[in-house]
Structure 1
């Protein structure tokens, strides 16, 4: 059913959201003065809002509904000045990370955003699809109330009065088994294809870091207390808390979100995950998808026994599609495949292996599979699925254009589509969530539901556009990029007044390679990097800027039987045409933190120079984290790059490259023995990318050839 995924796909999402933290006090004061419609009295809620944000750690509550006049005025000011744009990144962005819980939780909280709860029609939306569930649940619940020792009588028999977690776990597992047995007369499909599992003290296999699951439903009917389960077997995760007060975003909800992330990462065709929380005797049903998390109204299982029975039986009886698996994938005769209609005829594409799967809940959640057309195993294809904002241009259309223009060393287009589920575009709001209206949630607030975001805030740098012309001088406005965040001019645009949505898109490529860090030798790595830079220049000459140079977007092909490019760039999700005519309207800009250029981290409008700098950071990162083609490590000093604030990361990167002696010392201390011979060449690249140890002042198209010449000379060095 599900495939274990080994290779992570790294993605960082930066989104403009409601203002957060103490800096907002100062921004509020500044805006109050600029807008000119505030009295001093109205400064109080601004300060109060910032204080509240610090207190609860969630920016979504920074501007409450108690001060609508302030909110409107502040929103208007932000539409004009938009200085305080908070960048949030995504848990799939972690590169070579140990994924400690404290670090993951902080980022996951941002990624999930507001988790809407108390939605009416939730149960009908997700459980109403299960055949015979209503009739069977009523009949089973009636049986539970019969006999001399009924299972239910003013509450469930055996319910631990103190709601002790271990006791509740045992009670839940035993009662679920009894309900499944009672239901066998009402369902032709055996309920024991899956079973409840309670292993609060036993780690589930398949996590980067150790993760334990309180309770859930697994696809292994023989699973018991001593079974070793993998996240690929967890169909429905659950979280139990003895205290009803733990039914909050910071506690039970976030814990369940952590489990949902592991399930989605381990099951490569999972579109969404259903789960549940029980806090005391209060239960909620949850759904996690590529926009975040939603939950039902809270109910007391000892008062609404019928709903509890319906929930348990629903989890036991749901088919794979109802549980969130992609029905466009079919399994038969030991193979998985999809079917497409291309050039007027149907084609069956056989899945060979999972290449990478994003470890996240909300986001693009890119998954790639190696595949081939049925009967043509010698010609590799790559299937790429992702969940995109509908406002963004389609990567598939851009790839088709690139392919037609003969751009070299870029993955070539084969096919693309918006995934259809029974004739309907597969999106989150209408298809996955069945049209559930989050504005009906008990914790919905308009101010935090549609943050003023679209593209990542970008520092306006007049005279430093991303056009093909070189030699443009940095203006005084560009120099302001090194000022504190609140001093930098940023621009954002909003897609619409509507709530977010994501659409399931599929692109198929006719080039295949492996990540560049798996190069068989140092020389092969250098040659592949050279080829990728050549591909980037070819792409730019076609009028397109890539904007997402990262370790998993640079591939190498060392298979002589593979007709693909020897090295190639992939992933045009964030690529734009130059000169860009306007913002896409999508709600964020993504990239991978560890490889982002200093200026990009500080919010500059993206230039090809930023991409060239990212090539340097990719090589720098590989030399530190790779012991060879197949062995990698985590380095605590650089693991922090996955989590720290983007401005702090920019400062750290400046410190790495500003002084030659310091850089060489850092390289000697941190490059693996395998990559120590590259230190002189990486240093030469540093001097080319950061002339005099400083930030580039002018766009310079000649940097392409200078970087490539260094890499070509390095390949001839016998010590490499």
Structure 2
């Protein structure tokens, strides 16, 4: 019978009254809550009620004979096995219950339709079926994940940014029992002081702690908990200040649930946290640059899940990292009801301790809060290799046998992200020679990738023009070891021991991935395997992820790692969109195109990330390329036949979005998109703005972004009309010239069919003519 079609099995094995027990359970829950027993009740019940109802339904479905006869959605024995796996997932606190609501709606409808119910069962179990494990292959494409640092001229509204942030963070491992010891274990006197304070809390006729904390709001409403927590933290801060061997750090609790904190692009509020301002009251005004430890409070214990408290705390951590340019990682906490977790956000994502109930483990609660108050700056995640003396920040490097001190003279750029390369650039000069300007660039590269510093050194030594010149590079060392995430930031904490770790769905490093062979040119397929749309306790992307591997460094270790690299360049400039005139912008773009060609011809390198932030103009108006983080030897790409997506979303070529093998032609197309973007978003040198029509380019999925870009360039009349409408007044004279560029980059309104090196010359000629035409206008 198992070989029969699904419809025949369903017809021969009707549900009948097989779900009556479930319906009775649903009616009981609704009656207990005083809610009418209708479909609308699902939206009025709390998460735990919905979870229990869903578990009752899955158990009832497994009791139906059809579940043992129907085929599995994957490779299991039958649908019964799929339901068992889904049952376990739903029982986790981290499962997104919205995924099972269509099934609940089908069962609770006025008229049961067996075929529809089983269709919804298949939908639900398919969402939870893990993908087959990928097979390692020798590819050179780079994994392409949407990342919040790549937004260009964006409003950063919650409705746009949240999905991208979830994808950026990837799996968030929770339940790490050694996390507290790892991050709090070296704080001097913490254990002794915590015990002293807690003993005081237990004493007296009206103890502060007796079967729970005195004054703890029974219903755990957010505002009440916030007030209680802030008052408790104030008491502990006063104790910390008076303790004999207390550190000299001056930190205070801050509670600002209803007021945006200054320093973010979009409006961001934070429930509670700790700041470095000794004069701050619990409700003082503050800036994200002063937040040391962010916190998130929720009244419902079940809010400790990916789409709620964890995402909120992730937003705060992103703001902290973005505004504190020497921060390597951020510690934070969630308090959902009385259940607390400690969190760490670093350049791989987020990890967390196990939950503990502050009303049951009062001593641990005390030591956690006191630890936040007493930790050193290094323990809170600040980079000790960036030092301060006489009001100046500086780094020291060993170069050609001598120690050089470079004064950091100002922040140029700080990527607004949590997980990723997280590039930071400072303007700098040698202490003994203030006129010699440099750029110090810190980033977190995958350990498998070639060092950017080595690629820049090669490009410089081989005479590549209009490319930033190399001065020095090194791997940053903190506490006398290489500063990577897994072994230094996380101190070798084993995430495979997380309560929700699943090996076959963990985020992989570029060294363990899959992609099929392809040729240069058209392809609608994307390298990589589709991942399940949920993962217990993890944020997951909705899209397919192409990944890569190094042919010499691939191994069996599937966990990713990033390492802290520092590169120093001897060329300083400003982004091309800040060029002093239209003609200077166009000339700089032409120089950058020449630099791209020179990089290929002299060093054999393909840049692969032509974007608005990687094209610079020097003080003499010459243009040059920076950022070889994603550059690879062009010969390797051709040999591998690899597909993949590489670049910054708004500026990626259409073919690159479709996963084609990366070609220099894709980079040349990206130059067009950079100019197009500048003309729409800049109304003069450095005068950027957000344009709602194009803001979605930062957030749209691959397929939608591909359609949007095709729609812009396919018809000349439509393109000119759109340019006339959206180009700023400053760049309106550029419309005919950008259209001419469009026609050579997209012949007949279509993507290129064959590689053509002559496109370099054609593009430079058009930009040169345009520069002359718009001069003085």
TM-score by length of 1: 0.85
Q: 1:56 to 1:505 in 2, by over 3 A?
A: farther
Determine if the alignment matches structure 1 residue 656 to structure 2 residue 715: no
Secondary structure of 1:624 counterpart: helix
CA distance, structure 1, for counterparts of residue 649 and residue 299 of structure 2: 38
CA distance in 2, matches of 1:393, 1:535: 21
Change in CA separation of 1:71 and 1:281 when aligned onto 2, cut-off 3 Å? closer
Task: Tell me what 1:19 maps to.
Answer: none
1:257-291 Cα deviation digits (max 9, x unpaired): 11000000000000000000111111111110001
Task: Give the number of equivalent residue pairs.
Answer: 653
Query: Are 2:523 and 2:658, in contact at CA under 8 Å, matched by a contact in 1?
Result: no
Partner of 1:75: 133
CA contact (8 A) 1:247 1:279 kept: yes
Residue 524 (structure 1) aligns with: 584
RMSD over aligned Cα atoms: 3.3
Aligned to 2:740: 684
Structure 1 residue corresponding to 2:597, chosen from 529, 537, 547 = 537
Over 3 Å counting, the alpha-carbon distance change for 1:331 and 1:92 in structure 2 is same
Aligned to 2:556: 497
Pairing 1:431-442 to 2, within 5 Å after superposition: 431-442=488-499
Checking the alignment, whether the CA contact within 8 Å between 1:91 and 1:107 is kept in structure 2 is: yes
- Is the contact made by 2:137 and 2:513 (CA closer than 8 Å) also made in structure 1? no
Q: Is the Cα–Cα contact under 8 Å of residues 459 and 603 in structure 1 kept in the other structure?
A: no
Given that residues 459 and 491 in structure 1 are in contact (C-alpha distance below 8 angstroms), is that contact kept between their aligned partners in structure 2? no
- 1:694 aligned partner: 750
Given the alignment of the two structures, is residue 279 of structure 1 paired with residue 336 of structure 2, yes or no? yes
1:506 and 2:566 aligned: yes
Partner of 1:570: 626
**2:400 corresponds to 1:356:** no
Candidates 269, 272, 276, aligned match of 1:215: 272
Say yes or no: does 1:712 pair with 2:772. Answer: no
Match of 2:666 in 1: 610
Judged with a 3 Å threshold, the aligned counterparts in structure 2 of structure 1 residues 168 and 705 are, in CA distance, closer, same or farther, namely same
CA separation of 1:569 and 1:43: change in aligned 2, threshold 3 A: farther
- Give how far 1:148 is off: 2.2
| Alpha-carbon separation, structure 1, partners of 2:335 and 2:586 | 54
Q: Distance in 2 between matches of 1:192 and 1:167?
A: 29
Aligned partners of 1:80 and 1:417: how far apart in 2?
A: 29
Q: Matches of 1:43 and 1:680 in 2, distance apart? A: 64
Choose 288-297 or 184-193, whichever is displaced more. 184-193
CA distance in 2, matches of 1:510, 1:491: 33
Selected match of 1:547 from 601, 608, 611 = 608
- Distance of 2:678 and 2:227 partners within structure 1: 47
Structure 1 residues 11-26: aligned runs within 5 Å:
none
Kindly tell me: are residues 377 and 625 of structure 1, through their superposed partners in 2, closer, same or farther at Cα, counting changes over 3 Å? same
Contact in 2 for aligned 1:358/1:367 (Cα 8 Å): yes
Pairs within 5 Å for 1:207-606: 207-224=264-281, 226-451=283-508, 461-462=518-519, 464=520, 478=522, 492-493=548-549, 495-498=554-557, 499-542=559-602, 543-557=604-618, 559-560=619-620, 566-580=622-636, 590-606=646-662
Specify whether residues 367 and 452 from structure 1 end up closer, same or farther in structure 2 by C-alpha distance, changes over 3 A only. closer
Following superposition, the deviation at residue 440 of structure 1 comes to 0.9
Q: Distance in 2 between matches of 1:703 and 1:606?
A: 16
Given that 2:466 and 2:594 are in contact with CA atoms closer than 8 Å, whether structure 1 keeps it comes out as yes
Of 703, 709, 724 in structure 2, the residue corresponding to residue 668 of structure 1 is 724
**Residue 24 of structure 1: aligned partner:** none
Cα distance between partner residues in 2 of 1:431 and 1:489:
28
TM-score normalised by the chain length of structure 2: 0.79
Judged with a 3 Å threshold, the aligned counterparts in structure 2 of structure 1 residues 430 and 80 are, in CA distance, closer, same or farther, namely closer
1:668 Cα deviation after fit: 0.2
> Match of 2:453, SS?
helix
Aligned equivalents of 1:178, 1:405: Cα separation in 2: 63
- Post-superposition shift, 1:665? 0.3
User: Is the CA contact 2:657–2:702 (under 8 Å) kept in the aligned structure 1?
Assistant: yes
CA pair 490-503 structure 1, distance change in 2 beyond 3 A = closer
* CA 1:672–1:57: 2 relative to 1, 3 Å: farther
CA drift of 1:149 comes to: 2.2
Q: CA 1:172–1:491 in 2, change beyond 3 Å: closer, same or farther?
A: closer
SS of 1:129's partner is coil
Distance 1:221 1:588, change over 3 A: farther
Q: Which runs of 4+ in 1 moved over 6 A?
A: 46-49, 51-55, 78-82, 455-459, 488-491, 581-584
The change in CA–CA distance for 1:492 and 1:389 in structure 2 (over 3 A counts) is closer
How far residue 45 of structure 1 moved from its aligned partner, in angstroms, is 4.4
Equivalent position SS for 2:755 = coil
Change beyond 3 A, Cα 1:188–1:491: closer
Q: C-alpha displacement at 1:352, in angstroms?
A: 0.5
Confirm or deny: 8 A CA contact 1:81 1:489 kept in the other structure.
no
Asked if the contact 2:421–2:445 (Cα under 8 Å) also holds between the matched residues in 1, the reply is yes
Q: CA, structure 1 residues 340+627, in 2 after alignment: closer, same or farther (shift >3 Å)? A: same
- 2-side partners of 1:286 and 1:163: how far apart? 21
Q: In 1, Cα distance between the equivalents of 2:99 and 2:767? A: 46
